[in-house]
Amino acid sequence: MMSENLRKVRKICHVLEVIYRVFTIMCLVGLIMCIVGVVALSICSFFPNVKSFIVEKSDRGLIQLIGLCLTGFVISLAHFIVLKAHRDYFAMVQRVGTPFTMDSARSFRTLGIMNIVVPAVTIVVSAIIGVIFSCAGEIRLDFEFGVGIAMILLSFVFAYGAELEDRKDDTTEQKLPQA
């Protein structure tokens, strides 16, 4: 019999999986739009009238606009990678029925590491693009270093829960009469 709390965890994981699926699709759309922007701006460079129109309407040059589109691509890609990993985690918890498995704990720990590493790499890559294309600006990602650390710590709680589940199962098996 499933506990009420475990039922709530599974329900929340289902809702979060759906939400993260929507966000992942939004990031995919952002990726595509950034690619279209780079291609369109690159094609515009062959048409002087269009190029001058774009430069007049913008406070930046064509190369800077391409750099901004590339930066948008990198940021959208970072969000896509992290959001997809979260979505996959919530799907896995639903599939196995509990976050208290060793696989779940390892996956959650990986998510915590990703929440630290991916934004750091994204900031570095975006800064390099900003220097190359002379379009450096403020880069802000919605990932938090502290959240990553908390997720890593929480993954050890999940691992401990998995150990307790295994011990409980071993104890139950030992108590059953042998046939």
**What tens digit of pLDDT does each residue of 127-142 get?**
899 999 988 766 666 5
Between 64 and 138, the higher pLDDT residue: 64
Query: pTM score, two decimals?
Result: 0.83
* pLDDT exceeds 90 at position 32: yes
* Domain parsing of the chain, residue ranges: 4-170
Mean pLDDT confidence for 50-79: 89
Judge whether 60 and 135 are in contact, CB under 8 Å: yes
